[in-house]
Structure formats: C-alpha cells, structure tokens
Amino acid sequence: MKNILIINTSPRKGGNTEALAESFAAGAKEAGNNVEIVSLRDKTIAFCRGCFACQKLGKCVIKDDANEITDKICNADVVVWATPIYYYSMSGQMKTMIDRANSLYSRDYKFREVYLLSVAADNDPKTDEGAAKGVQGWVDCFDGVTFVDRLFVGGVNDPGDIKEKEGLTKAFALGKTIK
C-alpha cells in the first residue's frame, strides 16, 4: 500500500482535470492505496522569491498554503500532478507550486514515483509534451525519483467533455497499476 498525493492544479471546479484526477484516485484506491487529492483552486500560493532561505530552514518563509502542500508532497510515496494544458504547457498554478516546493531538495522526501495527468482542448497527441518536459525537469532534480507515466486526454474543453472520451477509463486503469 502506498500513500498517493494527487495535486489538481486546475482553477475550474468540476472540470475535466478534476474528473481525470478523481478517476485515477478511484483506481488507486481500488488497488489498496491511500489517496489524497489536493486542489490548488482555493489555495493561496504566492510566487517564489528566489531567496533560497528554504534550503536552510526546510520550509518557505512565505506564509501561505504552499508549505502545507509541500509537506504533503514530502511525505507521499507517489506524487501525481493533474493539470489543464495552457499554451502547450502546465498551468501557471502547477508551475508556481513546483517552484514553491523548493524546500524539498534539502529534506528527506519519501516520494519515488511521479505521474502526470493532463487535459486540453487541442487533440494533438503531442499537446502535453511541454508539461511532460517540465515534470521531467522537476523529477530530474531528485535522486531516486522516477517519472513513471503520463496520461493526456485531448479534445476536451467544456466541463464534462471528458465523459465522452476514454480518458476516465484509462485514468482509472493507470491508478490501479500502483501497488
């Protein structure tokens, strides 16, 4: 059994990213894992100041929701980023959270596996490559961590569009592979 943290970075409540994250979570739970979904939608997360105080303190000096989320990332076995694709990259909310989790470098982080779930209006299979490259760059900064897999569902724009795609079934199946 693994502790899985899914970070939904979409600002849209009830949107396609959220549905994809929930389907992945359901599969992971069915496989016997503990799963928590954290949505950044209602969180206050400021931009990183680049002061690097977090490297000495083990946490960011900015007092907002990022430190609590970073602690959850640190203590998870598996981290799953869920994002809408904006301009062929991850959401700004996701990038800001990744930057604010900089204190993880100097900490004894548990996570060893990272996944990416993404959706976009564009249906080209390459649409998520920018986001995947960003996630791989983040993963490459951590010893012993692997970017295991990604799932992209294109052709979804309006809330609920994903229900007409195979993406929810694929997300469930991918979540179920985690043991």
Once rounded to an integer, what is the mean pLDDT over residues 30-52?
A: 97
Tokens matching residue 141: 């900064």
DSSP state for residue 14 in the 8-state scheme: T
pLDDT for the residue 42: 94
pLDDT for the residue 176: 98
Identify the structural domains of the chain with CATH numbers, from first to last. Answer: 3-176 (3.40.50.360)
Answer yes or no: is pLDDT of 1 > 90.
Answer: yes
Q: Across the beta sheet with 34-39, what order do the strands follow? A: 34-39, 3-8, 78-84, 113-119, 146-153
DSSP state for residue 86 in the 8-state scheme: B
pLDDT for the residue 120: 98
Mean pLDDT in the chain? 97
CA distances from 98 to 7, 17, 103, 105, 121 (A): 11, 18, 10, 12, 24
Q: Residue 55: helix, strand or coil by DSSP? A: helix
pLDDT level of residue 33 (50, 70, 90 thresholds): very high
User: Which one, of 171, 176, 158, lies nearest residue 22 by Cα?
Assistant: 171
pLDDT for the residue 165: 86
Tokens matching residue 61: 């000096």
Q: What is the pLDDT of residues 135-172, one digit of tens each?
A: 999 999 999 999 999 999 999 999 999 998 899 999 99
DSSP state for residue 128 in the 8-state scheme: T
In this prediction, what percent of the chain has a pLDDT beyond 70?
100
In this prediction, what percent of the chain has a pLDDT beyond 90?
98
| Model pTM score | 0.97
Once rounded to an integer, what is the mean pLDDT over residues 86-100?
A: 97
